[in-house]
Structure 1
């Protein structure tokens, strides 16, 4: 048997963290067993589904690198198939017409709740029975699934173990609305059957749907997949993760400067573990992943840990790979890298200092764009009249270099300090502010090596002019 999993989001919003983790777990399980992964868009909610949300889901999956083997399938394109099977169930007396209007159903529900009874559809309730009996040939109707009244639904959840629900706790759910559109609980069963889905990984909020769907699988004569229901993700404050905790969409993490691998590594550990290991390559995730290793307990989202992971991947991912993801951020910050050092060389010396790609892009600016002002605090501290002599001498030595390499540049800076009888900081700090405009940077000889001779000397001149103006003030 080929293992086949699916991710089936509803396009009523963006791809959020919980959905992305579900998609990742489904994807990993299929890859782990050399199976197939299907992307399905469950857009039966015609009023709330939008093309914008569909595009956002696909964009999020693509950015994360969770490629699918089949799809995307759209439920709205399969209505003929669903309706044909509903008609079969009606013929087999496994489904029936319900003429009872919504107002009566709401009234019955309120009565049940007031009496402390679990609200459910009861075809034999006097008000519901009267409404059905009073219907005419022209009355609108929905189609309800005739749920078994005896026995129980039992399934072995891969995460939670044995789950048993008595059929008397379930009611006859609507499988086709009065407007002719089939409903989610029916469509999902038909899709899983038609697409050969063997394992369904989804959130614990679907546990209540599972026994209803199992009864429909069995009524159709379809094989019942294996289920795994993941616990929810909580925010830092212990409440269910929501919009108020920050990111609404997975793509917001892209916007905030996270690498997709960092987010995937973080998400896989939100409920799954392999010993004490924290860092996983994609190959390790695939080879080690098991549904039975997913925790039953809720996981708390920790932004600080995600930033730590992101910093790790910025430092350890090959610079050319980081550059692919950095390009978007450079464009957002209007940094043109055409005239300057190779961006991979810049990444190599800046990666240690940046926790996000937003920071990395911002820190790279002075390599590609001249500045007209120095950072106020850094200039006040380091571009003082006392720095004039060290800057003039180091400029002279740099201008005379035959080789514009880090080692030669470092020697020129060290020689300047020695000639003046000063510590390296008395030369290096004014020089850093002069050539970068800011008070912090990687090793100044490495920075100057990438900046180039002309740009370096011109910026030292600008710093000397700044000091001259300060002396006159």
Structure 2
């Protein structure tokens, strides 16, 4: 069975970059009839917050990315400790005591000498007495996995055949000095024990994948199928990382972006397929294939989400927005007409409120000085509401007969005076919705 997972850290809010990873893994599982695991990477007790974990789940539920089970790494610390013990027994885990400052100095020295900035394994050369002295002076050290210096090869689901020389990579730290288990070890244990078959994540994890493949092998596990998607950039190719905080899913939701507009966009950008607006996640899954994606950075423009949101709403029936319209106080007998008028003139559901204010309270008239007397005369010919389907024609016919105006000189000043807008929905529909007679 196909099993995928999404493993966010509850140290902040999900953003569009996180969503891309979650969505790819969800669609792979959904298309194959498999299982999708939500795994909270909460081994950092200081930065992990319950409110972030709750928001992650709310964001995924809003998008319809339902999971089959939730796992929390903070509840699996015994499993990571057992794996660490197994690595020690195999001679693949060693303690080191260098401080961040000392490691930085080592890297700078190596780079000045034209060498790769890779950890020099100085800790492996310490005698038992020297290790005891380090513990007495600095306390417990951090624990590194000892890589076999050989090429690590795998076929990536997006990038194709990959090969990394383990000698070019520092032995990864798997447990910090304070005892915190880091992502690299926890992910290896979880992916293997939870039967994860496919892992899709950002291309910034390629080196992590290489080291994790070797850690898995040392523990006697076969690795899952890995795939690394490209990272998002801004619309001009600029780094998006500094803006991701303003692209949190909760903010996009609050700003009116529709779930299927967001999902449809994120499921296709960076692929050879054009973005296609889908109605359900099952439709998205049916057309999803990693083979269509490439390694080039993927340009993301938040404005595209609002264009898709508008397109999505324009195609929705009244039933899809009935609750929103009722909440505005629109009478039931006007709901269908209101939606017919408003839907082609909104970007998000939030815009409905502005249209109902116009119809309920009236607009600020937009009247040129030379049209003021004409509009005043026209308003005098307009009866009090309620208005019907023929009100606009009956009224403009009467105004035409009284003033002699016709064509654009007749209709445009009246539109602007009634709606405060130069363009918009059909005035025959607008008149039916007006709750008050327009005035100057």
Q: How has the CA–CA distance of structure 1 residues 347 and 153 changed in structure 2, closer, same or farther, with 3 Å as cutoff?
A: same
Q: How has the CA–CA distance of structure 1 residues 261 and 220 changed in structure 2, closer, same or farther, with 3 Å as cutoff?
A: same
What is residue 365 of structure 1 aligned with on the other side? 357
Map 1:33-432 onto structure 2 (within 5 A).
33-71=32-70, 73-102=71-100, 104-124=102-122, 132=131, 134-135=133-134, 139-149=139-149, 151-244=150-243, 247-274=246-273, 276=274, 278-282=276-280, 283-323=282-322, 336-337=328-329, 343=335, 345-368=337-360, 370=361, 374-375=364-365, 378-380=366-368, 384-395=372-383, 405-406=388-389, 408-417=390-399, 419-420=401-402, 421-423=404-406, 428-429=411-412, 432=415
Q: For residue 121 of structure 1, give the secondary structure of its aligned residue in structure 2.
A: coil
**Distance (whole Å) between structure 2 residues aligned to residue 413 and residue 302 of structure 1:** 46
How far did 1:281 drift? 3.7
How far did 1:19 drift? 1.1
**Distance (whole Å) between structure 2 residues aligned to residue 197 and residue 185 of structure 1:** 15
**Distance (whole Å) between structure 2 residues aligned to residue 46 and residue 246 of structure 1:** 22
Matched, 1:446 2:440: no
More off after superposition, 190-199 vs 426-435: 426-435
How far did 1:392 drift? 2.5
How far did 1:161 drift? 0.5
**Distance (whole Å) between structure 2 residues aligned to residue 114 and residue 48 of structure 1:** 35
**Distance (whole Å) between structure 1 residues aligned to residue 201 and residue 195 of structure 2:** 17
How far did 1:341 drift? 5.8
**Distance (whole Å) between structure 2 residues aligned to residue 382 and residue 442 of structure 1:** 25
What is residue 470 of structure 1 aligned with on the other side? none
**Distance (whole Å) between structure 2 residues aligned to residue 93 and residue 432 of structure 1:** 82
Q: For residue 412 of structure 1, give the secondary structure of its aligned residue in structure 2.
A: helix
Q: Deviations over 1:276-314 (max 9, x none)?
A: 563334343211111121122112123443333222111
**Distance (whole Å) between structure 2 residues aligned to residue 310 and residue 135 of structure 1:** 60
Q: For residue 342 of structure 2, give the secondary structure of its aligned residue in structure 1.
A: helix
Q: Deviations over 1:7-40 (max 9, x none)?
A: 1112232211111112111111111111111111
Which ranges of structure 1 fall in alignment gaps of 5 or more residues? 467-473
How far did 1:221 drift? 1.6
**Distance (whole Å) between structure 1 residues aligned to residue 245 and residue 201 of structure 2:** 23
What is residue 469 of structure 1 aligned with on the other side? none
Q: For residue 313 of structure 1, give the secondary structure of its aligned residue in structure 2.
A: helix
How far did 1:159 drift? 0.5
How far did 1:385 drift? 1.9
**Alignment RMSD:** 3.1
- What is the TM-score with the length of structure 2 in the denominator? 0.87
Q: How has the CA–CA distance of structure 1 residues 186 and 417 changed in structure 2, closer, same or farther, with 3 Å as cutoff?
A: same
Q: Deviations over 1:401-439 (max 9, x none)?
A: xxx542x33442354245434426566556545654555
**Distance (whole Å) between structure 1 residues aligned to residue 290 and residue 47 of structure 2:** 32
More off after superposition, 315-324 vs 154-163: 315-324
1:387–1:426 CA contact under 8 A, matched in 2: no
What is residue 15 of structure 1 aligned with on the other side? 14
Instruction: Give aligned pairs, total.
Output: 436
More off after superposition, 306-315 vs 218-227: 306-315
How far did 1:128 drift? 6.2
Q: Deviations over 1:384-405 (max 9, x none)?
A: 2222332222327x77xxxx54
**Distance (whole Å) between structure 2 residues aligned to residue 49 and residue 116 of structure 1:** 39
**Distance (whole Å) between structure 1 residues aligned to residue 192 and residue 345 of structure 2:** 51
2:96–2:123 CA contact under 8 A, matched in 1: no
**Distance (whole Å) between structure 2 residues aligned to residue 112 and residue 344 of structure 1:** 72
Which ranges of structure 2 fall in alignment gaps of 5 or more residues? none
How far did 1:153 drift? 1.1
